[in-house]
Structure 1
Amino acid sequence: MTNKQHWMVSFVRVAAVLFGLMACLTVLVYTPFYSKFILFLLNRFVPVEVNTVAARSQQMAALSEHDDLEPGSDLWVARQAYLKVMQDAARRQDAASLNLIQARYDLLESEIKRNQEHENSLQPDQQIEKVLRHRKHELREELQADDTRLASEIANLDMPDNLQLMDKYIHFLKTYPVDTSASEVVNQQMYSELQQVSSSPQTSADSADIKRNDASQPSAIVVLGGGLTLDKNRKDIVVNNYTKLRLETTLALEKRNHLPIVLSGVEAPYMQTWLKAHGLSAKLLENRSMNTCENSRFSSLLLQKKGGAPKVMLITDQYHMPRTRRLFAMNGITTIPVNAPMPTRLTSWKPSVQNYDHSRRANYELLASIRDVVFGVSDCREVP
């Protein structure tokens, strides 16, 4: 009887201690200190080192003068093929092949220009075939009427003729034997500049007069969607409070920096509607991504295809920022963090339900960051 009573007393004591700890943890979660502590851990331990091979390919794109090529032209398709091969090399961490790819691309570009000069010298009756072959160029004005559709066409090369030509160019860029001695000097200079950029202090968010091809300065403002909701009429879809606050931050930031805006996520068309209603329009819409990994991957691909962006100003909330910066870094892009506010504000010290919103967000990002760092990301598509 004594042993049984002793066992029951021990059980009650342990249960009381556990109950007390759970009560303390619950109170802590509703204070502002819990989310601040998690945020400290995220900023302290989530790595944001840039993948140097991917960054080098981004910089090589940014230092080019080919971001204004006509979509659908042979030079434009060759450019997309070049970027795809460069991205594949970056994903394999194959830095040695970058010079070789660059040298092949230089040869391919020269050959295309030579063929175009020859076609331009033909008599009018000999140009009929050329006109028919480039009939797809007439789609450009139609596509420009819809920014979302244009971004999708450019990002995915949906035109059948382009796909066939791109396969041909990719084969050339992967197999043609060339001497890389000439391109190594140029690319080594690029790599040296990249190393200087990665070791320099972060640029202030208040900087202005940005030079597009200066890889040490941000090239764009990237805004991540935070979700959608129904309007007050319960019919129309609009941006939710998380996304709205990020867009409000974008308005203020664009006034100081005058950089092109990239909207990322399936929310992008609705984000564009909100921006236009406030007198601003995004340059690019990446509207295929369904999660943070795809946000970073698809945005980096689209930026690279439009000329490259070794550094961008990134807008999301403070809890989401460390994991997002890491994923952009893995795609070769350095980020300048610009935190958008949360829909609810933390109290100064006392427990409150509004603090729980921050704690819940912090918990999710903590677990997601641990998953990404330890196990990798498994729900992220390679291409849009």
Structure 2
Amino acid sequence: MVKLHWMVRLVRIIAILFVFFGCLMVFWYTPFYSNMMVKLLNTFVPVEVNQVAAKSQQNAALSESENLEPGSDLWIARQAYLKLMEQEINSKNTEGMTTLGLRYKALQEKILKEQQEEQDAEEKPMIPLVAEQATSEVSADQSTEAVKALLDLNSEDNKALMDEYLIFLTTYKLKEVKPDSELHAASELVASQVQEDIAIVQNENAEKNKSISQPYAIVVLGGGLTLDKNQKDIIVNPYTKLRLETTLDLEKKVNLPIVLSGVEAPYMQKWLAERGVEAKLLENRSMNTCENTRFSSLLLQKKGGAPTVLLITDRYHMPRTRRLFALNGIETIPVEAPMPTQLTSWQPSQQNYDHSRRANYETLATIRDMLFGSSGCREVP
């Protein structure tokens, strides 16, 4: 056999590679490539819920109104109050509910007074080196486990504080309320607040009886912002707009709280409000997908828990986002929003390449997350 010259072999290899990459480029511009990548992502990206993280969402009593910092003294006092309120509702003790409301108001005032005294004490001059050391220690404690510990009412510190507040709410002696006094007027306001709290407790009980597999909220991820035609005003970009349009359609079918996630959240809220839909739950600090899922999960924990949510984003973003939500203890039901450009038929086109490019980005990002973890992802907002 005649041995080919190395130059001929090199030219042959280059020609084969050229044909291969040429075919691959044509394939990228067809709808088959992006569809194939979506199937692979949906098949191989795990979305099993982390059961440890899920415990923080199991209360399943999502409330849009509560706005207390999770793990704070006021938050723990609120949990103690609602626990006793539930007992009074079950015993149908109307007078006891009003008394409990007045004691809760007194407990709130006591906590706020103690916090103010602590704040005044901290404002005293400090030695710079000592102050720097204290700051670094706080930053080091801001880990995922620390955040979960804040929300655990059964932890040693939280349980002790909970017991203290329960004793206060059951034994505190109220001042005598005389007609036409300031205390009388305050008690009437408390009575009206008690009625709202009764409705909250009853709603929470209904939510707790709800199946965990049923959704508790709609979570919409922002897709970016852009400038309006006047080149001055900031508005949602086409990706975000299509996700919001999907939200409008879904909101007509299910009556659930809407969570808007991302720095785009205020603009998304405004867009929905202009179309008659109110979204009260905003997570407006996240800068990437990892933070979207982590901060939204913390927000849902803060509001009482949501073990399952309806998730709105595009089809390429969906597998990676569902995995990250699962790691934070939340099961997701995917609701795909369309892309700004639509896939054409089999022939190569620029629109198809836009989809392939998006599929490539999400595939690489998913591989990175699974192998090395998410980069640039803060622990707490």
Same fold (TM over 0.5): yes
Q: When the two structures are aligned, how many residues end up with a matched partner?
A: 289
Q: Is the 8 A contact 2:66 2:303 kept in 1?
A: no
The 3 A distance-change label for structure 1 pair 263 and 70 is: closer
- Aligned pairs for 1:213-292 (under 5 A) are 213=208, 214=210, 215-292=212-289
Q: Is the 8 A contact 2:76 2:161 kept in 1?
A: no
Quote how far apart the aligned CAs of 1:375 are. Answer: 1.2
User: What is the identity, as a one-letter code, of the residue corresponding to 1:62?
Assistant: A
Quote how far apart the aligned CAs of 1:16 are. Answer: 0.8
Match of 2:162 in 1: 109
Q: Distance in 1 between matches of 2:261 and 2:298?
A: 12
Q: Distance in 2 between matches of 1:70 and 1:123?
A: 31
Q: Distance in 2 between matches of 1:91 and 1:303?
A: 13
Match of 1:17 in 2: 16
The 3 A distance-change label for structure 1 pair 293 and 337 is: same
User: What is the identity, as a one-letter code, of the residue corresponding to 1:232?
Assistant: K
Q: Is the 8 A contact 2:259 2:279 kept in 1?
A: yes
Q: Secondary structure at the match of 1:337?
A: strand
Match of 1:50 in 2: 49
Matched, 1:35 2:92: no
Deviation track 1:73-101 (CA, whole Å, cap 9, x = no partner) reads 94425569xxx999627979xxxx96942
Q: Is the 8 A contact 2:56 2:148 kept in 1?
A: no
Deviation track 1:239-263 (CA, whole Å, cap 9, x = no partner) reads 0000000000000101100100000
User: What is the identity, as a one-letter code, of the residue corresponding to 2:207?
Assistant: R
Q: Is the 8 A contact 1:225 1:243 kept in 2?
A: yes
The 3 A distance-change label for structure 1 pair 122 and 267 is: same
Match of 1:356 among 353, 357, 373: 353
Q: Is the 8 A contact 1:31 1:350 kept in 2?
A: yes
Match of 2:145 in 1: 88
The 3 A distance-change label for structure 1 pair 223 and 12 is: same
User: What is the identity, as a one-letter code, of the residue corresponding to 2:322?
Assistant: R
Quote how far apart the aligned CAs of 1:348 are. Answer: 2.0
Quote how far apart the aligned CAs of 1:346 are. Answer: 0.6
Q: Distance in 1 between matches of 2:343 and 2:15?
A: 31
Q: Percent identity at matched positions?
A: 64
Q: Is the 8 A contact 1:264 1:285 kept in 2?
A: yes
Quote how far apart the aligned CAs of 1:341 are. Answer: 0.4
Q: Secondary structure at the match of 1:19?
A: helix
Q: Distance in 2 between matches of 1:18 and 1:47?
A: 34
User: What is the identity, as a one-letter code, of the residue corresponding to 1:48?
Assistant: V
Q: Is the 8 A contact 2:34 2:359 kept in 1?
A: yes
User: What is the identity, as a one-letter code, of the residue corresponding to 1:22?
Assistant: F
Q: Secondary structure at the match of 1:257?
A: coil
Q: Distance in 1 between matches of 2:5 and 2:251?
A: 70
Q: Distance in 1 between matches of 2:320 and 2:298?
A: 19
Q: Is the 8 A contact 2:153 2:159 kept in 1?
A: no
Match of 2:138 in 1: none
The 3 A distance-change label for structure 1 pair 283 and 106 is: same
Match of 1:62 in 2: 60
Matched, 1:332 2:334: no
Quote how far apart the aligned CAs of 1:283 are. Answer: 2.0
The 3 A distance-change label for structure 1 pair 265 and 67 is: closer
Q: Distance in 2 between matches of 1:68 and 1:228?
A: 28
Q: Distance in 2 between matches of 1:69 and 1:285?
A: 13
- Aligned pairs for 1:368-383 (under 5 A) are 368-383=365-380
Match of 2:136 in 1: none
> Quick one: higher RCO (CA 8 Å, sep 6+), 1 or 2?
2
The 3 A distance-change label for structure 1 pair 246 and 269 is: same
The 3 A distance-change label for structure 1 pair 26 and 78 is: farther
Q: Is the 8 A contact 1:53 1:90 kept in 2?
A: no
The 3 A distance-change label for structure 1 pair 112 and 321 is: same
Quote how far apart the aligned CAs of 1:67 are. Answer: 7.6
Q: Secondary structure at the match of 2:342?
A: coil
Q: Distance in 2 between matches of 1:100 and 1:369?
A: 35
The 3 A distance-change label for structure 1 pair 85 and 374 is: closer
User: What is the identity, as a one-letter code, of the residue corresponding to 1:31?
Assistant: T
TM-score between the two structures when normalised by the length of structure 1: 0.68
